[in-house]
Structure 1
Amino acid sequence: MSKVKYYYDSETLSYRKIESKRGRKIGFIFLFFAASALFAVLFVTIIFNTALETPKEKVLKREVTQLKFQYDVLNKKIKQAQDVLKNIEERDNNIYRLYFEANPIPEEQRKAGFGGVNRYEDLYKLENGELLVATTKEIEKLQKRLIVQSKSLDEIAKLAEDREEFLASIPAIQPVNNEDLTRMASGYGWRNDPFTKARKMHWGMDFTAPRGTPVYASGDGVVVRADNSSSGFGKHIRIDHGYGYVSLYAHLSKYNVRKGRKVKRGDLIGFVGSTGRSQAPHLHYEIRKNGEKINPINFYYGNLSAVEFEELLKNAAKQNQSLD
């Protein structure tokens, strides 16, 4: 049974019964069925589109899946490259640069980005822009680290080249072979002068050997003097090894090199004699560093065994008389 509805009539000051109109009811019923039909069509369309994909949609979906896979692979490769580079950076700072006494490269310098607020503006406009920007930033950081490391290795290579040149240049061998020596007559330090018998500083080492015994360059360098115009040394040779080092070979009988010639360690440069202020045939050998005369005993690591060096130390320490 339908409900009876009333309304208040202000003119008669009474409630009056609302008479329903047949047309209005039919309108409501039609509107209900129209809305239901529209909802049904939308529902079916959604279900249909979800269940059935066009060939183009399937291709696009596969491409998206493939791109996501490639992105994951790319990220893994970036991570692997970062790990390998990190290992190289650690060895560079803690081994190579430490060995060659170069300052380590700070971490913030290695990992600094390229900067620029609008650098990625165009990427942000693309679909998945944030993802593209994040990946691009990682690649650029990796690129920057590779550039820094490459420059560091160039520097290390130069340092190694310089160190190799340095090691080849400094006087590092005994200038007379052990088998040619009669004895090591006098070492560096205070000794008795053979002529005045007074105590006098002896600035080198005297190697006694027969006249004509070969004398060898103790390191790579350039002959800066080969003459007898220096007081007391007689015929003598001086070799500039660079890095502040100069070696001197005195009392020679003759030369095998002339001024300006480049020599290598072990090259024959002259022969033992007794020219100048000398009491007997021997080689007077000195080393100077930045103009200061230093003890040659510390520069024979290149051709003496531990036993031979120990014997040389013992003889050099003897408070005997020098030969010049």
Structure 2
Amino acid sequence: MSKVKYYYDSETLSYRKIERKKRRTVKYIAVFLLAAGLFGFLTVFITSQYIESPKEKALKRELSNMQLQFELLNKKMDEAQTVLEHIANRDDNIYRLYFEANPIPEEQRRAGFGGVNRYKNLEGFDNSKLIIESSKRLDMLTKQIVVQSKSLDEIAKLAAEKEKLLAAIPAIQPVSNEDLTRMASGYGYRTDPFTKARKFHYGMDFTAPRGTPVYATGDGVVVRADSRSSGYGNHIRIDHGFGYVSLYAHLYKYNVKKNQKVKRGDVIGFVGNTGRSEAAHLHYEIFKDDKRINPLNFYYGNLSAEEFEELLKHASLENQSLD
């Protein structure tokens, strides 16, 4: 119960009871509530502006950590981009050049992504620009890695083909120098031993005793081992692939049969004097894309520079062939 208050009335020389008016009471209450509301608003405003809640502090730490992670990610992408550029440079200027393949166009390596906006779902955030730029860089880097990976797959395939080519090309002398009596005749115009007329000799003649081993000059498959070709007598043809075929004629006997796979250096037959031949020797030819070419250019596999020079000197003489 509220206390009753009095005041002294000097005219009546007596105490009178203080009567509180309702209007004034309502006014006091309204002013109090307004002041309290204003105080509360200012307190919340100041607190929100200058005093962080634990949740806000945690979110701010998380945001700071995310920004740091994106910075580290961009540094790693810079390093990966540098490494990728070195690989691309070696790919275009060493690997592809060696295997005679065209370099990959720069616009293909750095082509962007067309069509719809791939990053629309990343817009509208405080750090959207950072996130979108990092995502674009990562996507571009991923695409460049895919392009480079496909290129290296192609190079690996070309390398395998190159290795097969190097093994297949006729690259050694079909008769060993130790067994060779002499290099009787080379590629070019020679005197025919039977007609004595000057005509083109499409192979090289190696004189050696009957029964001397004859070697396959490159990897391949025996496509013929018979005597059904005019003038060659017993002869062997090896298909080396890549358009190369080697022919070994006037053999005494065979050491292989048709469809047999052979390796460079395998003994495929023996020197003889069959067919249109004047003496025991091996007539050797090389075809490239069905055209006869000079076998002299295919002895880099087992002759020294001095031996090749000696062979070249004898092969250049316009003498009489043996077939």
TM-score normalised to the size of structure 2?
Answer: 0.85
Contact 1:166/1:243 (CA < 8 Å) preserved in 2? yes
Query: Could you say which residue in structure 2 is the equivalent of 1:113?
Result: 112
Match of 1:165 in 2: 164
2: CA distance, partners of 1:180 / 1:95? 42
Amino acid at match of 2:181: T
Q: Distance in 1 between matches of 2:238 and 2:258?
A: 9
What amino acid does structure 1 have at the position aligned with 2:279? A
Question: Does residue 1:151 correspond to 2:150, yes or no?
Answer: yes
Counterparts of 2:201 and 2:226, CA distance in 1: 21
**Structure 1 contact 252–272 (Cα < 8 Å) conserved:** yes
Aligned to 1:179: 178
Shift of the alpha carbon at 1:49?
Answer: 4.5
User: Could you tell me which amino acid in structure 1 is paired with residue 216 of structure 2?
Assistant: A
Task: Give the conservation status (yes or no) of the 8 Å contact 1:185–1:208.
Answer: yes
Which runs of structure 2 are paired with 1:192-271 in the superposition (5 Å)?
Answer: 192-271=191-270
* Counterpart residue identity of residue 266, structure 2: D
Q: Find the aligned partners of 2:123 and 2:54 in 1 and give their Cα distance.
A: 30
Amino acid at match of 2:202: W
1:4 alignment partner in structure 2: none
SS at match of 2:250: strand
Match of 2:188? 189
State the secondary structure of the residue aligned to 2:178.
Answer: helix
Q: How big is the alpha-carbon RMSD for the aligned residues of Structure 1 and Structure 2?
A: 2.1
Give the secondary-structure state (helix, strand or coil) at the position aligned to 2:285: strand
After superposing the two structures, state which structure 1 stretch, 125-134 or 239-248, moved more: 125-134
Q: Distance in 2 between matches of 1:86 and 1:99?
A: 19
Residue pairs, 1:278-297, within 5 angstroms: 278-297=277-296
Quick check: 1:113–1:137 contact (8 Å CA) kept in 2?
A: no
Tell me what 1:11 maps to.
none
Structure 1 residue 43: deviation in Å?
6.7
What's the CA shift string for 1:108-133, capped at 9, x where partnerless? Answer: 11111222333211111334222221
SS in 2 for 1:177: coil
Runs of 4+ in 1 over 3 A off after TM superposition: 40-52
TM-score scaled by length of structure 1: 0.85
Q: Tell me how far 1:52 sits from its aligned partner.
A: 3.4
The residue aligned with 1:308 is: 307
Deviations 1:244-300 (A, max 9, x none): 111100111000001111111111100001111111111000011111111000001
1:54 aligns with 2:53: yes
Distance 1:112 1:225 in 2: 53
Counterparts of 1:4-83 in structure 2 under 5 Å? Answer: 48-49=47-48, 51-83=50-82
Query: Quick check: 1:247–1:286 contact (8 Å CA) kept in 2?
Result: yes
Residue 48 of structure 1, CA deviation: 4.6
Aligned to 1:26: none
